[in-house]
Chain A
Amino acid sequence: MRDRDVAVLGVGMYRFGMWSDVSNATMGREAGMLALRDAGLSFRDVQAAYVGDIFGPVMSGVRVMKEFGLTGIPVQRIENASATGSAALREACLAVAAGHYDVVMVLGFDKMTAMIQHATPGTARENMEDAILPAAFFAMWATRRMHERGTKAEHLARIAAKNFNNGALNPMSQRQPSSPVTVEKVLGSRMVAWPLTTMMSCPIGDGAACAIVGRAELAKKLRPDRPLVRVVASDLQSERYAPGHLFMGPVVGPAQMSIDTSKVAYAQAGLGPDDLDLVQVHDAFAIEELEYYELLGLCKTGEAEACIERGDFELGGRVPVSTDGGLIARGHPGGPTGLAQIWETTLQLRGEAGKRQVDGARVGLCHMMGGGSVCVIHILQRD
């Protein structure tokens, strides 16, 4: 990342939710205009765009970008399942670091409500893989962890309750409980795939998120009034074969992929897990967040349960995780999800995160998994 320093110039979001009557074009435009205003830029200044969406039709990237005006810039659509927005951000950072552009827009959007409407089970011949829902795949992580480490459903419920309660402090969160969510409430919600309940699982939703990235010197000139947030690490890895590898189903992993990606990211940044002030992870299901504590080095192997019991990863704890509510509460439409992590981390590092502010936050890590699968990690650091 160090050929030319890359900074987050601006961020914007269209709140995640069930917006079946709002188009990708509208959500994308609003998130993008917020990010441009936040950066102190106009679309005239944007030299390239990387667009991430999973479920849109052919041409959706370049079509939504027309909302901002037709200036002839290169527009590239990127898809990498849940890690779509993170993968698009990485391409933008690489392009700026390589000196191709000074200002790049990264825009993610998706409409899962539209995808659900179009799914018609039984009308076409299904795949072998359709019986394995993502919830089942991750439930089997939980069953295995319980077998090996004695993990209890209460540990998973505590993670989910934390994320709901963080979401209540985030105006852009899809789920905003009006009263504190308890472990008992999470455990009592509907069972999806044992031991995972609905409240241990992310919701479906629609939304958009945008980050403007560019040369770090530019950020100092544009907004000298606030801290500069640099992208100090960006890595993406796909699967490496090992015995027991799963080739079919909605697979993310193997676990080693998060370990390997984080090691490269820490080396790029010249930082380690002890330097992190806050972390966002791919908590589509609570068991994932538990595993990532260990895989990212936030605690030692086998100690996640004890750390959860101590509240290490809660706001005010040793290293808060999913401070904006995570996928479980803030939501997970797909394309914009990884950029919502950048939105949250940027605000936190500027000290603009309101009631969920992590005191004195200087370094934040954003981890995403994309089915298939890939792992993407970015580390942001405030000057």
Chain B
Amino acid sequence: MMTQATRQRVPIKAGYFTVPDDPAAAPRFLATRCESCGEHFFPRRAICARCLSEHTTDVELEGRGTLYSYTFVHFPLFGSMNVEHMDGYGVGQVDLPEGPRVQAPLAGKQMDFRIGQALVAELDTLREEAGCDIVLVRFRPVEVTR
């Protein structure tokens, strides 16, 4: 576990979520707030999709939310070498408290998920590449322990 925690973690794609120095800390979402109408967006954008204002600001949103809907996919996770993903993986639509609805993998099995439950974001390792862990953000039901 020590080697796992100390290996550098690299996002599968830059610009969507943070990689905290503390492995126990939840990642944050790189989002946008419209300074004209107050709407929040994920991912980031320059122009407000709602009021078309160009007066927008980059913000980071905490990695937590509420499950709007879910499924369990019975295929291996694309790009993953992690044995945990070989039999499939959960996927959810998650409402962040500030408004954006995010689609992301879920930690756990089919029976662990229910609409309306509280979730927390975490970084999931897909594979090792050039000595780094390639990570993707996913959500875990608060009641499902690691």
- Which A residues have a C-beta under 8 Å from some C-beta of B? 121-122, 125-133, 135-137, 139-144, 147, 190-196, 241, 243-249
| Min distance, Cβ B30 to any Cβ of chain A, angstroms | 11
Docked complex Cα distance between A193 and B100 (Å): 24
What are the 5 closest A-B residue pairs judged by CB atoms, nearest first? A139-B71, A140-B69, A144-B69, A136-B91, A130-B78
| Min distance, Cβ B3 to any Cβ of chain A, angstroms | 22
Contact call A245/B12, Cβ cutoff below 8 A:
no
| Min distance, Cβ B137 to any Cβ of chain A, angstroms | 8
Contact call A140/B75, Cβ cutoff below 8 A:
no
Contact call B103/A132, Cβ cutoff below 8 A:
yes
| Min distance, Cβ A266 to any Cβ of chain B, angstroms | 28
Query: Which residues of the partner chain B approach A129 to less than 8 Å between Cβ atoms?
Result: 103
Closest to A126 in B: B79
| Min distance, Cβ B14 to any Cβ of chain A, angstroms | 10
Docked complex Cα distance between A218 and B83 (Å): 63
Give per-residue flags for B127-141: 1 if the beta carbon is below 8 A from chain A beta carbons, else 0.
Answer: 100000000100000
Contact call A121/B78, Cβ cutoff below 8 A:
yes
B110 CB-CB contact with A under 8 Å: yes
Contact call B101/A126, Cβ cutoff below 8 A:
no
Given contacts A143-B69, A192-B73, contact A247 B91 (CB under 8 A): no
Query: Which residues of the partner chain A approach B16 to less than 8 Å between Cβ atoms?
Result: 128
Given contacts A121-B79, A144-B115, A194-B110, contact A128 B13 (CB under 8 A): yes
Give per-residue flags for B23-47: 1 if the beta carbon is below 8 A from chain A beta carbons, else 0.
Answer: 0000000000000000001110100
We find that the number of chain B residues with CB closer than 8 angstroms to chain A is 37
B122 CB-CB contact with A under 8 Å: no
Query: Which residues of the partner chain B approach A144 to less than 8 Å between Cβ atoms?
Result: 68-69, 115
Docked complex Cα distance between A237 and B78 (Å): 31
Query: Which residues of the partner chain A approach B81 to less than 8 Å between Cβ atoms?
Result: 122
Docked complex Cα distance between A99 and B8 (Å): 63
B55 CB-CB contact with A under 8 Å: no
Given contacts A139-B71, A143-B115, A246-B93, contact A131 B101 (CB under 8 A): no
Contact call A194/B71, Cβ cutoff below 8 A:
yes
Docked complex Cα distance between A129 and B15 (Å): 13
Give per-residue flags for B77-106: 1 if the beta carbon is below 8 A from chain A beta carbons, else 0.
Answer: 111010000000101110100011111110
Contact call B69/A125, Cβ cutoff below 8 A:
no
Contact call A126/B13, Cβ cutoff below 8 A:
yes
| Min distance, Cβ A146 to any Cβ of chain B, angstroms | 9
B50 CB-CB contact with A under 8 Å: yes
Query: Which residues of the partner chain B approach A244 to less than 8 Å between Cβ atoms?
Result: 68, 95, 99, 101
Please tell me which one of the listed residues A133, A141, A192 contacts residue B69 in the complex, with CB atoms under 8 A apart.
A141
Please tell me which one of the listed residues A125, A142, A147, A247 contacts residue B13 in the complex, with CB atoms under 8 A apart.
A125
| Min distance, Cβ B65 to any Cβ of chain A, angstroms | 12
Query: Which residues of the partner chain A approach B104 to less than 8 Å between Cβ atoms?
Result: 131-132
| Min distance, Cβ B10 to any Cβ of chain A, angstroms | 10
Docked complex Cα distance between A245 and B69 (Å): 14
Docked complex Cα distance between A135 and B101 (Å): 18
| Min distance, Cβ A199 to any Cβ of chain B, angstroms | 14
| Min distance, Cβ A124 to any Cβ of chain B, angstroms | 9
Query: Which residues of the partner chain B approach A243 to less than 8 Å between Cβ atoms?
Result: 99
Docked complex Cα distance between A121 and B85 (Å): 14
Query: Which residues of the partner chain A approach B77 to less than 8 Å between Cβ atoms?
Result: 131
Given pairs A126-B79, A248-B43, 10 additional interface contacts (CB within 8 A): A121-B78, A128-B12, A132-B104, A140-B70, A144-B68, A190-B74, A241-B49, A246-B101, A247-B43, A249-B103
| Min distance, Cβ B95 to any Cβ of chain A, angstroms | 7
Please tell me which one of the listed residues B42, B43, B95, B136 contacts residue A131 in the complex, with CB atoms under 8 A apart.
B136
Given contacts A244-B101, A247-B43, contact A127 B74 (CB under 8 A): no
Query: Which residues of the partner chain A approach B103 to less than 8 Å between Cβ atoms?
Result: 129, 132, 137, 140, 246, 248-249
Contact call A125/B12, Cβ cutoff below 8 A:
yes
Query: Which residues of the partner chain B approach A190 to less than 8 Å between Cβ atoms?
Result: 74
Contact call B91/A140, Cβ cutoff below 8 A:
yes
Docked complex Cα distance between A129 and B104 (Å): 8
Docked complex Cα distance between A276 and B74 (Å): 38
Query: Which residues of the partner chain A approach B102 to less than 8 Å between Cβ atoms?
Result: 248
| Min distance, Cβ A150 to any Cβ of chain B, angstroms | 13
Contact call A133/B73, Cβ cutoff below 8 A:
yes
| Min distance, Cβ B115 to any Cβ of chain A, angstroms | 5
Closest to A196 in B: B71
